[in-house]
Amino acid sequence: MKDILAIKQLSRKEKLQVMEAIWEDLSQEDHLVESPAWHESQLRDTEQKVQSGIEQTLDWQEAKKELRKRFE
């Protein structure tokens, strides 16, 4: 597959941009994806942690900025 070879030639930043574009495209059809059963328990656990103040939420745009800083 020559597309995979082309991806290997990309910089780390370019690979992350490709991943983000793929994820954005896939998320447009998220209703077609069935979540595994363990997701529900993880979501409940996280919700309890947020409500008790153990964890805090972060705006998605801000989270992406933070992640980009870590990998650039």
Task: Delimit the domains of the chain by residue range.
Answer: 2-71
- Tokens for 27? 């998320």
Residue (of 63, 58, 62, 70) closest to 13 by Cα position: 70
**Tens digits of pLDDT across the chain (72 residues):** 578 888 889 999 999 999 999 999 988 887 888 889 899 999 999 999 999 999 988 899 999 999 999 988
DSSP 54: S
What is the rounded distance in angstroms from the CA atom of residue 40 to the CA atom of residue 25?
24
Query: From CA 42, how far away is CA 30, in angstroms rounded?
Result: 18
